């Protein structure tokens, strides 16, 4: 056979035979491998090319060494916040050597796109009702370092921090300290980062990756989030920093009940995480704080300056930390298994954004009231409305009194019975103080008129 013919045959046989056995329709389409930066970029671009009507790629900034902090956004109207549609994010690989989360987010993007096109109704519904942001790696520089190590076993530390040697999960402004102070002496219970823009721009201690993510959090009204790590297997929730400063102490946030419910919603679908018989990752590990695959951060070990608590205390976003593998950078051939263990949890956790109470706060003319506060009686943590007056208040099932307040307006309180899911719609129409004064004046005038007519003066 001539060379050309043989090559054609060879190539096609090679391509045909390289399609391995298909275990399930969706798994056959995902290639379970590690993605270096270029490969990561290409993988995201491919998802976008495959599903351009429901995805968009953007970057929140650059790492220290100039790699883009890429995000793939998925929604029915990518690029825009639709009034009333909650925003969700996954962030992976903030410790560059904790690699599983990074890959899972890439596989998730591919999975959601494939499932959407294959007509999976619950995925279609999820994408139509949520705006999902996927950032596979917050620390691409660290990952390259970790991945460049030769040999089977990757070091526990190489690649963890960013290129400047900063541990990004200790680099966020420590708002826990402030809230603990306010708990004792009074003060705000939410949005504690004062003079935000200034604080961020002028803070020389912040790594570029940290700055970029803080700006991202300020710009998009995220409701729910998770931060993917490795080195253990558990779903960790606020607060991460202990109140007393000790190394282990249960440090409940005002939303302890809600967070436990959210964390469990992840762990329950991960068979390894929720296995009560699971042995600790390393013989001497202390996992006494773990129950049902979840743990309070402070109870496990104190972490100051972490991204999880920063989300809760600077914005409306509830974030938990997911530890997904005992091994921080496991062998490539284990990635498929990690995907299988986490796929259902990852999808189901996004769905958790549709819980609690949600709605709009408007004035009597129907205009949106931006930055109104939503308070829940008994929970010392308020959230605020976004630019369209829309809000989403995550709550575990129960009966609550929810009130809406804005400066210059009269507070309105409503009673709500909240199921596990879906979210209950509660809208507020607020009367401004000026309007009330006018009303009262009119009432007074009417009364005076009536009196004068009756009494003839």
Partner 1 sequence: KSARPNPPGPTLFSCKVKEAEPEQENDDFTLLKSLAEGQRSKETNETPVRESLEKEPYFPDESDSTKNRRLVEDYDSTKMENGKYQDDPESFRQVDGTPLTAEDIVQKIATKIYEEDDRGVFDRIVSKLLRLGLITDSQADSLEYEVAEALQDLITKNAKNNEIEDLGEDYPVTRGDQDDQNPDAKGEEEERKDGLQDLQYFPNFYRLLKSLDSEQDAQERETLITIMKTLIDFVKMMVKYGTITPEEGVSYLENLDAMIALQTKNKLGKTLGIPGIIPPTGKTPEDDDNTKAEAAKMQKEYENLKDSTKEEAPSTETRDHPGKSEIYLEAIRKNIEWLKKHNKDEGKDDYDLSKLRDFMDQQVDSYIDKGIIEKGEGETIKRIYGSL
Pairing status of strand 222-229 against strand 318-325: parallel
What are the two backbone dihedrals, phi and then psi, of residue 285, each rounded to the nearest 5 degrees?
-65, 145
Other beta carbons within 10 Å of 116:
21
3-class secondary-structure state, position 274: coil
CA distance 159 to 141: 8
What secondary structure letter does DSSP report for 249?
Answer: -
Q: Any alpha helices (H) in 276-362, and if so which ranges?
A: 297-300, 307-314, 335-351
Closer residue to partner 1 in complex, CB, 56/177? 56
Q: What is the dihedral of CA 116, 120, 123, 125, to 10 degrees?
A: 100
3-class secondary-structure state, position 178: helix
Cis peptide before 86 (omega within 30 of 0): no
CA distance 336 to 327: 15
Where on the chain is the footprint of partner 1 (CB under 8 A)?
A: 1-22, 36-39, 41-42, 45-52, 57-59, 68, 70, 117
Closer residue to partner 1 in complex, CB, 14/153? 14
3-class secondary-structure state, position 111: helix
Contacts of 132 (CB under 8 A, 6+ apart): 73, 74, 75, 88, 89, 90, 112, 126, 350
Closer residue to partner 1 in complex, CB, 47/213? 47
Q: Which residue in the list 87, 323, 341, 351 is annotated as catalytic?
A: 323
CA distances from 376 to 59, 113, 285, 293, 425 (A): 35, 37, 38, 28, 15
Q: How far is the CB of 18 from partner 1 (least distance, A)?
A: 6
Closest CA to 95 of 41, 151, 169: 169
Residue pair 358/425 in contact (Cβ under 8 Å)? The answer is: yes
Closer residue to partner 1 in complex, CB, 20/186? 20
Closer residue to partner 1 in complex, CB, 57/178? 57
Express the helix, strand and coil content of the chain in percent, nearest 5 each: 35, 20, 40
Q: How far is the CB of 92 from partner 1 (least distance, A)?
A: 18
Radius of gyration of the chain measured on its C-alpha atoms = 25
323 tagged catalytic: yes
Buried b (16+ CB within 10 A) or exposed e, 365-392: eeebbeebbbbbeebebbbbbbebbbbb
Q: How far is the CB of 3 from partner 1 (least distance, A)?
A: 5
Closer residue to partner 1 in complex, CB, 63/258? 63
Catalytic (active-site) positions: 323
């Amino acid at each position: 056979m001539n060379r050309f013919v043989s090559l054609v045959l060879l190539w096609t046989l090679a391509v045909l035979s390289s399609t391995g056995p298909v275990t399930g329709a969706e798994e056959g389409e995902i290639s379970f491998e590690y993605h270096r930066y270029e490969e990561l970029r290409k993988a995201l671009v491919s998802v976008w090319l495959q599903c351009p009507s429901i995805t968009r790629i953007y970057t929140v900034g650059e790492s220290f060494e100039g790699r883009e902090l890429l995000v793939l956004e998925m929604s029915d109207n990518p690029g825009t916040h639709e009034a009333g549609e909650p925003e969700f994010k996954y962030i992976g690989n903030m410790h560059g050597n904790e690699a599983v989360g990074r890959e899972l987010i890439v596989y998730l993007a591919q999975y959601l796109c494939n499932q959407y096109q294959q007509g999976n109704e619950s995925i279609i519904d999820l994408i139509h009702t949520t705006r999902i942001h996927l950032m596979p790696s917050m620390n691409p520089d660290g990952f390259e370092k970790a991945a460049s190590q030769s040999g089977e076993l990757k070091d526990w530390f190489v690649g963890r921090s960013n290129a400047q040697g900063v541990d990004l999960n200790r680099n966020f402004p420590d708002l826990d300290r402030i809230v603990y102070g306010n708990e004792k002496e009074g003060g705000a219970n939410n949005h504690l980062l004062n003079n935000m823009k200034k604080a961020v721009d002028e803070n020389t201690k912040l790594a570029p990756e940290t700055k970029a993510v803080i700006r991202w959090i300020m710009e998009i009204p995220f409701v729910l989030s998770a931060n993917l790590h490795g080195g253990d297997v558990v779903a960790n929730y606020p607060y991460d920093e202990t109140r007393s400063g000790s190394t282990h102490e249960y440090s409940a946030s005002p939303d302890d009940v809600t967070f436990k419910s959210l964390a469990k919603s992840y762990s329950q679908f991960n068979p390894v995480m929720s296995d009560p018989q699971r042995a600790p990752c390393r013989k001497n590990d202390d996992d006494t704080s773990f129950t049902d695959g979840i743990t309070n951060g402070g109870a496990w070990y104190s972490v100051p300056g972490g991204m999880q608590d920063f989300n809760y205390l600077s914005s409306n976003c509830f974030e938990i930390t997911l530890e997904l593998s005992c091994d921080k950078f496991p062998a490539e051939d284990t990635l498929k298994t990690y995907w299988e263990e986490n796929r259902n949890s990852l999808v189901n956790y996004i769905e958790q954004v549709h819980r609690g109470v949600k709605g709009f706060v408007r004035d009597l003319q129907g205009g949106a009231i931006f930055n109104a506060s939503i308070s829940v009686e008994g929970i010392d943590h308020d959230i605020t409305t976004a630019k369209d007056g829309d809000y989403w208040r995550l709550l575990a099932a129960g009966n609550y009194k929810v009130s809406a307040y804005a400066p210059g307006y009269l507070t309105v309180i409503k009673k709500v019975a909240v199921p596990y899911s879906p979210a209950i719609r509660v809208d507020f129409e607020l009367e401004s103080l000026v309007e009330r004064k006018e009303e009262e004046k009119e009432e007074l005038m009417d009364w005076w008129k009536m009196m004068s007519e009756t009494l003839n003066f």
